[in-house]
Amino acid sequence: MGSTDTIASEAAVLAQTYSPLPVVLTEGHGVWVRDVEGREYLDALAGYSALNFGHGHPVLVAAAEQQLRRLTLTSRAFHNDRLAEFAQRLARLCGKDRVLPMNTGAEAVETAIKVARKWAYTRRGVPDGRARIIVAEGNFHGRTTTIVGFSTDPAARNGFGPFDGGFDTVPFGDVGALEHAVGPTTAAVLIEPVQGEAGVVLPPPGYLAAVREVCERHGLLLLADEVQSGLGRTGSTFACDDEGVVPDVYILGKALGGGILPVSAVVADDDVLGVLGVGEHGSTFGGNPLAAAVGTAVVGLLEPGDIQAHVRTLAPLLEQGVARLRGLGLRACRVRGLWAGLDLDPRVGSGRRLCEQLRLRGVLAKDTHGATIRLAPPLLITEQELGILLDRLELALRDLTG
C-alpha cells in the first residue's frame, strides 16, 4: 500500500494517542530512512534517542540475529547465558555494583521509585507508606498512572486520576526550592539531567552538582533519569558526567536496546538495590537473552569512548549552525551534544508546521509543546550529514518566513 492507504488503515484500527507526521517508513540505514514511495529522509529524531547508533547498526543487528537463532526468552524463572555479561559490563560502565533489568523507560522509572521508597523504609527509618520523592516541573518520566500523577503537563495528567501522591514538585533549576521541599520523610530526588520532552531544557550551570550536594547533606538518594539523555547523547556517557556528578541510581532505557527492542535498567550500588528481596519486583521479559545480547553490544560500542568523542567534535557545529538561524525564525536555541531544542518565533508558527516543511525537504523531526522542535540525530551522523541537516533546516525556515 502507499502512504495514504496505510495511514487510513492505521486510523481505522489504532487508538488515536499519537499524531505522527504523514510519512510511512519502510527501510533505514544509518541516519537515513526511506518511505514506501521510495523517498529518502534524514532522521533527525532517532526514536527520541532510542536510535543513538542509527538504523541497522551492523554490530547490533549481528548480535540480535545470532541470539535469535539460539534463545530469546527464559523468563527470570531460569538463568540464561547472556544476562551475567550484560549486567557486569553495564554496571562497570556506570561505576556501580548491580543492575536490575527491565524493558521500557517507564518501567525503569517505576522500579527506581519502588527502590527509593523501600530504601527509605529499611535504611532511613521513614514510617511505612510516608516516603516522598522530589521531582521537577516540566518533567517527563513516562506515562504510567504513578508517573503522570506528578506530571505538570495537563495532556499527560488530566483525566487519569486518582493519583497516589507522595511527590513534591519544584521548579527545574531552582536549588533553593528543592532544598526547601526536603522534609523528614523525603527519600529521594528524581530528575532528568536535561529535560528532553520539555524541549531539551538545560539546567543552569552547577545545578546538578548542587542537587547532588543537597542529597548528600540530607541523606537522600539522587535518581537520574538518563533514558533520553544518557548513553552518549550529550557527548558524555551520561549527561550527569557533564558536571562530574555521580547519582545514586541511573535509570536507563531507549538507546540501551539499540533501536532493536525495548531494554531498560536501573543501576545502583548494593546498599540501594539490595533493599529488594525475592518476589518484590520483576518482569517476565526483563533481562531476556535477546535483550541481554543486544544490550551487551550497545555497551561494547560505548566502552571505548569513540562515539562520545565524535559527539563532542560535532556538537559545536550543531550549536553554531542553529545559532546562525536566530534571525530566521528561531527565538531561542538550546544545544547539548547532538541534541537541540529550538523555540520558534510567531513568523514560523507551530513546531508542527516547521516539521511538515522539514519533511518536504527530506528531514524528519518532531515538535513538542507547540512552538518547539527537537533535533536528535543518530550519534554516528557525519559532519557532511550534519551539514545537510542544517542546510535543509535553513531552507525550511526560509520557506516559512518568506
How is 205-252 classified by DSSP, letter by letter? TTHHHHHHHHHHHHT-EEEEE-TTTTTTTTSSSSGGGGGT---SEEEE
Domain regions of the chain by residue span: 1-43, 58-302, 307-375+386-402
Give residue 1's pLDDT: 86
Residue 402, pLDDT > 90, answer no
With residues binned 3-state (H G I as helix, E B as strand, rest as coil), the percentages for the chain, rounded to 5, are: 40, 20, 40
Give the chain's largest Cα–Cα span: 63
Which CATH fold topology does 58-302 show? Aspartate Aminotransferase; domain 2 (3.40.640)
In this predicted structure, the answer to whether residue 389 has a pLDDT above a threshold of 90 is yes
Q: What angle do CA 35, 38, 40 make, to 5 degrees?
A: 70
pTM confidence score:
0.97
Q: What is the DSSP string of 317-377?
A: HHHHHHHTTGGGTEEEEEESSS-EEEEEPTTT--HHHHHHHHHHTTEE-EEETTTEEEE--
- The percentage of the chain sitting over the pLDDT mark of 90, rounded to a whole number, equals 97
36-73: pLDDT as tens digits? 999 999 999 999 999 999 999 999 999 999 999 999 99
pLDDT in tens, 141-169: 999 999 999 999 999 999 999 998 999 99
Q: What is the mean pLDDT of residues 280-305?
A: 97
Q: Under CATH, which architecture does the 307-375+386-402 domain have?
A: Alpha-Beta Complex (3.90)
Q: What is the mean pLDDT of residues 102-121?
A: 98
Average pLDDT over the chain reads: 97
Render pLDDT for 66-81 as a digit per residue (tens, 0 to 9): 999 999 999 999 999 9
pLDDT mean over 203-222: 98
pLDDT tens string 224-238: 999 999 999 999 999
What does the pLDDT look like over 257-292, one tens digit per residue?
A: 999 999 999 999 999 999 999 999 999 999 999 999
Show the CA angle centred on residue 298, arms to residues 30 and 68, nearest 5°: 90
Please, which pLDDT band fits residue 189 given cuts at 50, 70 and 90?
very high
Query: 3-class DSSP state for residue 395?
Result: helix
Catalytic residues, by residue number, are 140, 225, 254
Overall average pLDDT of the 79-103 stretch = 98
Would you place residue 134 in the very low, low, confident or very high pLDDT band (cuts 50, 70, 90)?
very high
- The C-alpha R_g of the chain, in whole angstroms, comes to 21
- Residue 314 is predicted with a pLDDT of 98
